Amino acid sequence: MADAERIPGFNTLAVHAGAKPDPTTGARATPIYQTTSFVFDDVDHAASLFGLQAFGNIYTRIGNPTNAVLEERVASLEGGTAGLAVASGHAAQMIVMHNLMTPGDEFIASKKLYGGSINQFNHAYKNFGWNVVWADPDDLSSFEKAVSGKTKAIFIESIANPGGVITDIEAVSKIARKAGVPLIVDNTLATPYLCKPFDYGADIVVHSLTKFLGGHGNSIGGMIVDGGSFNWSREGRYPMLSEPRPEYSGIVLHETFGNFAFAIACRVLGLRDLGPALSPFNAFMILTGIETLPLRMQRHSDNALAVAEWLSKRPEVAWVSYPGLAGDKYNALAKKYAPKGAGAVFTVGLKGGYDAGVKLVSNVELFSHLANIGDTRSLIIHPASTTHRQLSDAQKVQAGAGPDVVRLSIGIEDKDDIIADLEKGLTAK
Nearest to 150 by CA among 136, 129, 171, 167: 129
The mean per-residue pLDDT over the stretch 350-364 comes to 95
What integer pLDDT is reported at residue 342 of this predicted model?
97
The least confident of 59-73, 81-95, 380-394 is 380-394
What span, in angstroms and rounded, lies between the C-alpha atoms of 251 and 220?
A: 33
CA end-to-end distance (rounded Å), the chain: 64
280, 349: one domain: no
Return the closest-CA partner of residue 405 out of 388, 385, 382: 382
| Residue 326, CB-side half-sphere exposure with 13 Å CA sphere | 2
pLDDT per position as a tens digit, 250-288: 999 999 999 999 999 999 999 999 999 999 999 999 999
Q: What CATH number does the domain containing 340 carry? A: 3.90.1150.10
> Of 229, 262, 289, which residue constitutes the final position of a domain?
289
Q: Judge whether residue 121 has pLDDT over 50.
A: yes
| Whether 332 and 214 share a structural domain | no
Prediction pTM value:
0.96
Q: Are residues 153 and 254 in the same domain?
A: yes
Q: pLDDT at position 184, please?
A: 98
Burial-class residue 42 by CB neighbours within 10 Å (0-12, 13-18, 19+): exposed
Tell whether 224 and 334 lie within a shared domain: no
- Single out the residue in 289, 308, 331 at which a domain terminates: 289
* Window from 2-16, 169-183, 303-317, 404-418 with minimum mean pLDDT: 2-16
Does residue 371 share a domain with residue 313?
yes
| pLDDT of 363 strictly over 50 | yes
Q: Is residue 107 part of a domain?
A: yes
Beta strands 345-350 and 131-135: pairing type?
Answer: unpaired
- As a whole number of Å, the CA-based R_g of the chain is 22
Question: Residue 372: which domain range?
Answer: 293-427
| Domain final residue, candidates 241, 267, 289 | 289
In the chain, the number of structural domains is 2
Starting at the earlier edge strand, list the strands of the sheet with 317-321.
317-321, 345-350, 405-409, 379-381, 368-369
Residues 206 and 164 in one domain: yes
Sequence letter at residue 120: Q
pLDDT in tens, 132-146: 999 999 999 999 999
**Are 300 and 273 in the same domain?**
no
Backbone angles phi, psi at 46, to 5 degrees: -60, -45
Q: Residue 153: which of 132, 139, 138, 136 has the closest Cα?
A: 132
- Contacts of residues 231-237 at CB distance under 8 Å and 24 or more positions apart, as own/partner, are 232/261, 232/262, 234/180, 235/180, 237/152, 237/180, 237/181
